[in-house]
Amino acid sequence: MLCSDFKEKQNLFWRMTVAPGAVEDNGGMRQHPGQEFIHVLSGRLELHSAYYDPLVLETGDSILFDSDQPHGYVGLDGPAEFLLMNSFVHPDPEA
C-alpha cells in the first residue's frame, strides 16, 4: 500500500503487479464498498467482473468502476503493473 502512514484517509492507494493465468491465481474475485480506479503502468491487464465481459486495459489506460461488483485481474502476455485506488467508505455513525 502506498501512503499508508497518512491518517484519516479517504482513499487507499496500491501499486500492484499481477501475473498471467487465472483470476484465482491472482487473489480471486473480490468486492468492497466504494469505487476503484486503475491506471495501467506496464503490460496488458484483463479486468474481470461479475456483470460484464472481461475488459483488456493497455499500458496508459485507466478505468473507474463501482467496486461493489465482484472483480479480479490477470496479466495478459506477461505481468501487468498498475496503480489502484480504492475509495474508503466510512460507516455511517447515524445508522
Q: Which long-range contacts (CB under 8 A, 24 or more apart) does 26-29 make?
A: 26/72, 26/73, 26/74, 26/75, 27/72, 27/73, 28/72, 29/70, 29/71, 29/72
Backbone torsions φ then ψ of 8, nearest 5 degrees = 55, 45
How do the pLDDT tens digits run along the chain, 95 residues long? Answer: 555 666 666 788 899 999 999 999 999 999 988 899 999 999 999 999 999 999 999 999 999 999 999 999 999 999 999 999 998 665 555 64
The domain limits of the chain are 34-95
Alpha-carbon span 58 to 80, nearest angstrom: 9
- Model confidence pTM above 0.85: no
Look at the domain 34-95 and name its fold.
Answer: Jelly Rolls (2.60.120)
* DSSP code string of 27-55: T--B--SSEEEEEEEEEEEEEEESSS--E
